[in-house]
Structure 1
Amino acid sequence: MTLETPQTTNEYVNIAYYKFVAIDDPNQLRNELLTCCNNLNIKGTILLAKEGINSCLVGSAESIDSFIQFMHNKPFFADIEFKKSFSSHIPFRRMLVKVKNEIIPMGMDSIQPAHFTGKYVEALELKKWLDDGEDVVILDTRNDYEVELGTFKNAIDPKLTKFRDFPKWIEDNFNNYKNKKVVTFCTGGIRCEKATAFMRQEGFEEVYQLQGGILKYFEETHKKAPHEDNHYNGDCFVFDYRVAVDKALNETKYEICYSCWTPLNENDLKSPLYKKDIYCPRCYERHNQKEAQRQNLIRENNMKALQVRQERAKKVKEQWEKGLLK
């Protein structure tokens, strides 16, 4: 299903999409997709693996429509849903198509969302559950820096630094919710495919995933009831140069540290521990440690090079003294 393009003053269309589906030859598909995007002057990132595709792209309305048609012409991508938002600039610098082992790393071969995952709950259905005060547990599957910008009211935050930590967190902290009605959510839905597959494998009886993620939820609830409480506080972090979007999917005013992906507030930007595109107060210490390691490595390499030169000079001197060199 492709969303209709609304009237907008913004020039560029951003699309986010994914699908877990068997891809026999990701490298061949990579070449096709890269050629298509370059021909259409589309920027962004596509991740491919044998388990599927995950992508965020931006271009003109005409280019994006052509790309969507290109994708839908492929039988295994015919039902992909593209989530659209709009911007006045291109929030990507280049076009990348990467082949990976997994499109969402979890490191568990037993988790195959193309065959086994949780139930879906549509955006408006979830809003009704929350409106009615249903006994439902809301679980955020995103990383900590994303949650800082916004999340559902009363959502449980695992405080993940990487998605690979999700299975262990569930095992260590969430087993007492196995008999509860649990709804997982993330930005676009892809992480919840693996999260719910894992949770079902672990014996959770009634686990759901928010269809289309927060972005789809914002779109549907804003369209249906723009002035009602949608039970979400704050904005939604997105993985491009917009940084975040609000409940109407408009770009919000945030800066970001492109070293650690932390959203930055006004105090962060004024901090002496902030250097644009290099470090911020959160990653300054780690940056210094890496820099110290780098400098130590440089010194070690310089010492090794000096020793080699000294040994070479010593041998030359010995040859001169023996009259072997003239």
Structure 2
Amino acid sequence: MANVLVDLDVESLAPEVHKEDKPDFSSTRKLYSYVKKRTFAAFVASKKCPPTCENASPALWLCCGQSFKEPSSIHKHVSNSHASEIHLLTSETLDVMLRQAHSEDSMEELSDESTDVLSWIPDTSHVQEDDLIKGPGEVLLYYCYCRLNDPQMICQWQKELCSKFHMTGKVRVATEGINGTVGGTKTATNLYVKAMLSHPSFKIMQVQDFKKSEGGAECFSDLKVGVYKEIVPMGVDPDILSYRLAGIHLEPEEFHKEVKAFVENQSSISDTILLDCRNFYESKIGQFDQCLAPDIRKFSYFPDYVENNLDLFRDKKVLMYCTGGIRCERGSAYLRSKNICKEVYQLKGGIHKYLEQFPDGFYRGKLFVFDERYAIAFNEDIISECRYCSCPWDQYQLCSTDFCCQLVLSCATCRERGLTACCPACQAKEQNHSDVSSDGLPRREECECTMSRPRIPKDTL
């Protein structure tokens, strides 16, 4: 087991764990972080110059015949040049720790799995039923990568939990974790967060992992909870490409500084790419200044996009972002697996967390969300335009043609004129009422605007 746990970047780890703090063996990511960080720190410390070291330069560390004055430089050198030694040492340490904790962990996992679903539904006898149905509401967006031994049970628990709280939304469950966006009254969402944090499978989560925005149960047509292979559909088996290979996580403040340097000195920092790993209709209405926004329709196209544009990323420092952070976990892992980038960083908490702190920062326009609101605003900028008259417009609506699921930007004036379809082909279909085939079943075709778009575009900078 330990051999597959060691591909973590030290820079993305949690704060240092002190000797008196017992590592949380039930939370695998904390355990990996704890061991890798301590191993890395010990290795760096072994390269520190002793007081009697005579060296021409005032180096604090010596390694591989090179001298290093700054902590960042020796850390980078060790990360790049001594990965195998760090991996070996970490693997050996993990083997010992896991053997020692095996018995206790096995009993805990067995206990968690055998627990009845209803036992994890909180008591709401102190809550008025009306408070779960009426009143101010909000939408939660969250994810958690963690080992779930019985995703079917978690799925059933989520259904019971949301039904009890009168919440709607979408939740994906897999052996690799959970990913959800749900809406309800604030009373309901507060209870939901408490229930999530109290469940032993999600001990690693914290309150700030739940991104909140104005809305409610009305933002979703119903509740959809299911078990899947991936909690974010990238189309790559998580057993082959794990989220544990993800890039270095940057807090919003750190990401803001990196983007500021990139935007202000782009001509002199040509080795940096600010990468939007969302879909084209998301980046169309909002994005970071001077970003690279792939013209792809689905995140499952992202791996092929990387394959077709390897030279674009070669020897580059990549700053990656997405809505809430989850696509970057797998997207950065895939990019790193190609071993072509100099460094890969990702925005922790995604655009959502960034805009909470920097509403007037370098991200302009709306933030696309996957519910019936389609977008939420943190600033007043409109960076997109009406499909028909090209006036500033960023309010999406579904194509008016039956069975077409494309989104269209059509301003109020154009909609009054009947221009409500996503493209001329759909507009003609609507006028001809030809959306039903000869056998009476609905026909769902790729419309003109989709077919004309390259599935995997070739990009240049």
Q: Which residue of 2 aligns with 1:183?
A: 319
Q: For 1:286 and 1:201, how far apart are their aligned partners in 2? A: 46
Which residue of 97, 100, 103 maps to 2:228? 100
Residues 366, 379 of structure 2: 8 Å contact kept: no
The amino acid across from 1:57 in the alignment is V
1:47-126 correspondence runs (5 A): 47-80=172-205, 81-87=209-215, 90-109=218-237, 110-113=240-243, 115-126=244-255
Q: Which residue of 2 aligns with 1:127?
A: 256
Q: Provide the aligned C-alpha RMSD in A.
A: 2.7
Q: Which residue of 2 aligns with 1:264?
A: 409
Q: Alignment partner of 1:151: what SS?
A: strand
Q: 1:168 to 1:28 in 2, by over 3 A?
A: same
Residues 118, 196 of structure 1: 8 Å contact kept: yes
The amino acid across from 2:254 in the alignment is E
Q: For 1:70 and 1:248, how far apart are their aligned partners in 2? A: 33
Q: Alignment partner of 1:22: what SS?
A: coil
**1:212 pairs with 2:349:** yes
Which residue of 28, 31, 34 maps to 2:159? 34
CA offset at residue 102 of structure 1?
A: 1.6
Q: For 2:370 and 2:318, how far apart are their aligned partners in 1? A: 26
Higher strand share: 1
**1:254 pairs with 2:395:** yes
Residues 14, 87 of structure 1: 8 Å contact kept: yes
Q: Alignment partner of 1:101: what SS?
A: coil
CA offset at residue 143 of structure 1?
A: 0.8
The size of the alignment, in residue pairs, is 275
Q: 1:283 to 1:197 in 2, by over 3 A?
A: farther
CA offset at residue 262 of structure 1?
A: 1.7
Residues 271, 281 of structure 1: 8 Å contact kept: no
Report Cα offsets for 1:54-80 as digits up to 9, x if no partner: 111111112111111111112231233
The amino acid across from 1:151 in the alignment is Q
Q: For 2:428 and 2:328, how far apart are their aligned partners in 1? A: 30
Q: 1:182 to 1:96 in 2, by over 3 A?
A: same
Q: For 1:157 and 1:286, how far apart are their aligned partners in 2? A: 31
Q: 1:271 to 1:166 in 2, by over 3 A?
A: farther
Q: For 2:435 and 2:140, how far apart are their aligned partners in 1? A: 40
CA offset at residue 253 of structure 1?
A: 7.4
The amino acid across from 2:250 in the alignment is V
Q: For 1:163 and 1:74, how far apart are their aligned partners in 2? A: 30
- Structure 2 segments unaligned to the other structure (5+ residues): 1-134, 381-392, 442-461
1:132-143 correspondence runs (5 A): 132=261, 133=264, 135=269, 136-143=272-279
**1:240 pairs with 2:371:** yes
Q: For 1:155 and 1:174, how far apart are their aligned partners in 2? A: 17
Q: For 2:428 and 2:314, how far apart are their aligned partners in 1? A: 38
Residues 151, 233 of structure 1: 8 Å contact kept: yes
Q: Alignment partner of 1:241: what SS?
A: coil
Q: Alignment partner of 2:161: what SS?
A: helix
Q: Which residue of 2 aligns with 1:196?
A: 332
Q: Which has the higher contact order (CA 8 A, sep 6+)?
A: 1
Give the share of equivalent positions with the same residue, in percent: 31
Deviating above 6 A after TM superposition, structure 1's stretches of 4 or more consecutive aligned residues are 285-288
Q: 1:294 to 1:24 in 2, by over 3 A?
A: farther
Residues 137, 215 of structure 2: 8 Å contact kept: yes
- TM-score, normalising length from structure 1? 0.76
